[in-house]
Amino acid sequence: MRKPFVGGNWKMNLNAAASRTLADDLARAIATDRLDQACDIAIFPPFVYIRHVHNVLRDRSSSVMLGAQDVWPEPSGAFTGEVSAAMLKDCGVSVVLTGHSERRHVIGEGDELINRKTRAALDAGLQVILCIGEKLEERTAGQTDAVNERQLRAGLANVPAGHLNRLTIAYEPVWAIGTGKNATPADAQDAHTKCRAVLASLFGADAAGRIRIQYGGSVKGSNAGELMTQPDIDGGLIGGASLKAEEFLSIVRAAAAAPAKGR
């Protein structure tokens, strides 16, 4: 069965004190309500607050995974401003995002770099959430499935089957991110089914049936329930709503309460 997985992508928000407070509020509530029994949970602070959040999670012996929003594919060297997978592990990070739409479309990363990042993080023993999704004009042109397929095939090129147990996909339609417009549960489910079929053609049906596919894009407490009960939606990647403890927790609760999925 696939355990749901909810990530909170804080993006470039908060400061040191607010990062500590949010991490502490989440760790406390998740432990008290034992939400981690039915749901994996990760938070992705800005690089500079990873240490602060790490210390909070350590002091609470929290099961919440510490995530990073990005990683550079090379292990070390003259890459000013970048951070390697080994450095992230050294700071207690266990999961990284690759291919987030803001890195693709605001910062200009291409599929080849995203693939190198994905492979470097997996090779280093980290978990990876590979984010994919179509832009509005691509959706309007009927290209949603083709874009997702291209981003999956390119992002996962040469990823060894032995690393798939540390891979999660996040389907995040770009037009739904930060806009308040989420995909309908039926549209999201449809996209997830097609993504799983691409994963099956790459890695076989059994492996594809075990890979979790999160939905992302304007998920909040009020729409999480209907999204999380879809049979191929295995949790969510949450931006804006992850900055408020109660809102994020209500999404985690919805994911934890959803019926078991997979075989």
Number of residues that bind ligand PGA (CB under 6 A): 13
Question: Which residue is catalytic, options 100, 163, 192, 247?
Answer: 100
Task: Please give the backbone phi and psi of residue 11, each rounded to the nearest 5 degrees, phi first.
Answer: 50, -145
Contacts to ligand PGA from residues 223-252, by CB under 6 A: 237-241
Binding mask 196-225 for ligand PGA (x = CB under 6 A): --------------------xxxx------
Question: Which residue is catalytic, options 102, 134, 149, 172?
Answer: 172
What residue type is assigned to position 9 of the chain?
N
9 sits near ligand PGA (criterion: CB under 6 A): yes
Residue 105 annotated to the active site: no
Binding mask 139-178 for ligand PGA (x = CB under 6 A): ---------------------------------x----xx
Taking the complex as a whole, how short is the minimal distance between the CB of residue 107 and ligand PGA, in angstroms? 13
Q: Nearer Cβ to ligand PGA, position 36 or 102?
A: 102
Are 219 and 241 contacting, i.e. CB atoms less than 8 angstroms apart?
Answer: yes
Structure tokens at 78: 């003259």
The runs of H, that is alpha helices, within the chain are: 16-32, 50-59, 85-90, 101-105, 111-123, 136-140, 144-155, 185-203, 205-210, 221-228, 245-257
Return the residue nearest ligand PGA (CB atom). 239
Q: Which of 80, 108, 91 is nearest to 44 (CA)?
A: 91
43 sits near ligand PGA (criterion: CB under 6 A): no
Residue 246 annotated to the active site: no
The CA angle 75-83-22, to the nearest 5 degrees, is 140
Q: Nearer Cβ to ligand PGA, position 180 or 259?
A: 180
Which residues have CB under 8 Å from 97's CB, separation 6+?
7, 9, 44, 67, 68, 69, 70, 128, 129, 131, 170, 237
- Residues annotated as catalytic are 100, 172
Residues that bind ligand PGA (CB under 6 A): 9, 172, 177-178, 216-219, 237-241
